[in-house]
Amino acid sequence: MAPSFLITLAMFAASAIAAPPFQPPPPGTGTPPKGSRTCDISSTLVLPPTQTALALPSSPASFVLLGVGVQNYTCSSAGTYTSVGAVADLYDLSCLSKLPAVFNNIQDVAYGAWKLAPPNVKTLGTMGGYPHMGSHFFNTSPSGTGTSPVWDFRAVSAKGNPDAFVLAAKVAGIPAPTATNDVDWLQLKSVTGALATQIYRTDTRGGVSPTSCTAGSAPISVKYVSKYWLYGGTVKV
Ligand SMILES: *[C@@H]1O[C@H](CO)[C@@H](O)[C@H](O)[C@H]1NC(C)=O
């Protein structure tokens, strides 16, 4: 067999298991001021015009992030899925917000790449140059019962700052205006932590469970992407 064929085969095998490429931020993206990881945020949160459940934020945005991860569900004895939280990587979008045409569609580009990633790929890595800020996950609620969503920069972009997280409670939600298989848009408020006082999940793609399951079947993880907008934070990165 010709060596060049074997090399081609080896390259094909390697590309088949790698995550699909995610294009780096395009020219025209903002540059953070010296000493900062983030840019001024040039975009504002837009809620569907007819909805009344979510209130607009009451302060300037502290962070705008892309979340790329999974929503988890367990199968109940009644044969329906119950949400048991999520885990996602958080990437900064503040510098991209200078380019509305790209910023407004970044969730579609990211979701396209994320859906194509094979099951063994658990993260999109550095997302082709978008700064990795931290992660989103669920922790035991302060009451000791149930779990609460957390956005946490402490292990990534704010090492050494014990307050660089927010554990939140849901205020309200609306069905995603895009599609029934996109998870709800949400408004949340801080319970503990200094990363934000208000959090919004918007521009969701994916993440909804199938409508039914076989009782006793294993938990599932459904890929999703969203924007997260954090307001009122006092953490500098
Ligand atoms: C969600 O599932 C993933 C595996 O797909 C796991 O790593 C993560 O810990 C789970 N998180 C929650 C909150 O269930």
- Per-residue pLDDT at 21: 62
CB 45 within 8 A of CB 65: no
Q: What is the SS3 assignment for the chain?
A: CCHHHHHHHHHHHHHHHCCCCCCCCCCCCCCCCCCCCCCCCCCCCCCCCCCCCCCCCCCCEEEEEEEEEEEEEEECCCCCEEEEEEEEEEEECCCHHHCHHHHCCHHHHHHHHHHHCCCCCCCCCCHHHCCEEEEEEEEECCCCCCEEEEEECCCCCCCCCCCCEEEEEEEEEECCCCCCCECCEEEEEEEEECCCCEEEEEEEEEECCCCCCCCCCCCEEEEEEEEEEEECCCCCC
- Per-residue pLDDT at 11: 42
Ligand 1 contact, 85 CB (< 6 A):
yes
Residue 8 has pLDDT above 90, yes or no: no
- Per-residue pLDDT at 220: 97
Binned at pLDDT 50, 70 and 90, residue 118 comes out as confident
- Per-residue pLDDT at 18: 53
- Per-residue pLDDT at 3: 43
In this prediction the pTM is 0.90
Q: Give the Cβ contact number of residue 227 at 10 Å.
A: 23
- Per-residue pLDDT at 9: 39
Mean pLDDT of 192-219: 97
Rounded to whole angstroms, what are the CA distances from 77 to 146, 208, 217, 218?
Answer: 19, 19, 9, 12
Q: Ligand 1 atom 13: the closest Cα is on which residue? A: 85
Report the alpha-carbon distance of residue 110 to residue 70 in Å, rounded: 13
Total residue count of the chain as it appears in this document: 237
What are the pLDDT digits (tens) for 125-156? Answer: 767 778 999 999 999 999 999 999 999 999 99
Q: Ligand 1, from 71, 83, 87, 209: best to mutate by most atoms within 8 Å of Cβ?
A: 87
Average pLDDT of the chain is 90
What are the pLDDT digits (tens) for 40-65? Answer: 999 999 999 999 999 999 889 999 99
Ligand 1 contact, 87 CB (< 6 A):
yes
**Using CB atoms within 10 A of its CB, is residue 114 exposed (0-12), middle (13-18) or buried (19+)?**
buried
Residue 20 has pLDDT above 80, yes or no: no
* Ligand 1 atom closest to residue 147's alpha carbon, by position in its atom list: 13
Q: Ligand 1, from 221, 222, 223: best to mutate by most atoms within 8 Å of Cβ?
A: 221
Mean pLDDT of 5-32: 61
Residue 14 has pLDDT above 90, yes or no: no
Q: Ligand 1 atom 1: the closest Cα is on which residue? A: 72
- Per-residue pLDDT at 19: 53
Binned at pLDDT 50, 70 and 90, residue 23 comes out as confident
- Could you state, in order of their start, the residue ranges of all structural domains in the chain? 3-11+59-231
What are the pLDDT digits (tens) for 85-95? Answer: 999 999 999 99
User: Which residues partner with 152 through β-bridges?
Assistant: 135, 165
